[in-house]
Amino acid sequence: MATVVSKPFGVTRKGESVTQYILSNPGGFSVTVLDYGCIIKNIIVPAKGGPVDVVLGYDTIRQYEDDTATYLGAFVGRYANRIKGAQFTLNGKTYPLEKNDGENHLHGCFARKIFEVKPVGDGILMEATSPAGEDGFPGNMKIAVRCTLLADNALRMDYRVTCDADTPVNLTNHSYFNLDGGGDVLGQKLRLYASNYLEVAPDLCPTGRILPVAGTPMDFTAGKRIGKEIAAPFPQLQLAGGYDHCYVIDRARGASQSICAWASSDKTGISMKVYTTQPGVQLYTGNFLDDTPGKNDIPLQKHGGFCLETQHYPDSLSYPDFPSTILRAGKVFRASTTLRFFTGKQCGRL
């Protein structure tokens, strides 16, 4: 049985009180979530050498407010990832969006929104609204994010949104994982259950081409160290300064959630498996993290964390062959992702 404890986490510049919610089980596994952006601030995994915090983050609300680029731990939307040219056309009308990534739109404002929170079962339910026109999107949207601590050291995140007008939607959590608990992640191992990935242009928006990973440094199907080929003279890696690509998940037929990733640390013995209902997973290797102080004033560093952002494909409205991201008025969009943590030999060997 999980317990939920709430504690104050400061006040925003707008005068909004921020609360942190600590979900924990009797075995010492815990997850701390803020009502500011549904940010996952800590994931504490009990390991042989002691508890390890396996996500990057900050110690104060001011640091989260000042961070407008990395989205550490945040729930992002209305549209996770990029929309090229910061505009889209739907039902014959063109909608201009906020340009917050060069000429493109990236992620949106949910990471800076205060959510209403209430305990539900072994977790919490976080709810908010997004008024028509926010970030440029049509329709009044209702958002619900449920975080549940499962008995086997797992965190399940369920998303549910509705809107009173047709609108695109793409949601994800933007946690940066480091299973060593510090340093860079280049020596940590990763397997992706994905035989294809989306090619990107120089602005990191997709070109529309879905390419096989086989025979390229993009291939994680057998598992390898994250840094093994990250500096290879491969154009896609050179464009991004590392990995920043959406992988097409090899979905298990009939499964509600399919495994999409397995990561592990030889240093701590911690492994993590990721399961999702979504069609893609964005692997990002912290290529643009800088020396901004993180937790305990320890500077963040390039490749200091990796993201596994379960989501629909970026810029889907530009490519009819991509899975649709259009939520029709009065309909419900649902998605879920589970992070399951193991220590020692519980998970097998990657």
Other Cβ atoms closer than 10 A to 270: 27
Which is it for strands 332-343 and 154-163: parallel, antiparallel or unpaired?
antiparallel
| Burial (0-12, 13-18, 19+ Cβ within 10 Å), 24 | middle
DSSP string, 130-182: E-TTGGG--S-EEEEEEEEEETTTEEEEEEEEEESS-EE-B-EE---B-TTSS
CB 87 within 8 A of CB 177: no
Distance (Å, whole) CA 258 – CA 272: 14
CB 184 within 8 A of CB 242: no
Supply the residues annotated as catalytic: 174, 309
Q: For residue 99, give the amino acid letter.
A: K
Helix, strand, coil percent content, the chain, rounded in steps of 5? 10, 45, 50
Distance (Å, whole) CA 120 – CA 137: 30
Cβ-based neighbours of 297, under 8 Å, separated by 6 or more: 59
Cβ-based neighbours of 284, under 8 Å, separated by 6 or more: 243, 244, 306, 307, 309
Q: Where are the beta strands (DSSP E) in 60-99?
A: 75-76, 79-83, 87-90, 93-96
**Residue with tokens 């490749």, as numbered in its chain:** 303
Q: What backbone phi and psi angles, to 5 degrees, belong to 163?
A: -150, 150
Starting at the edge strand found earlier in the chain, the sheet holding 123-130 runs 116-120, 123-130, 141-150, 154-163, 332-343, 270-276, 258-264, 189-192, 224-225
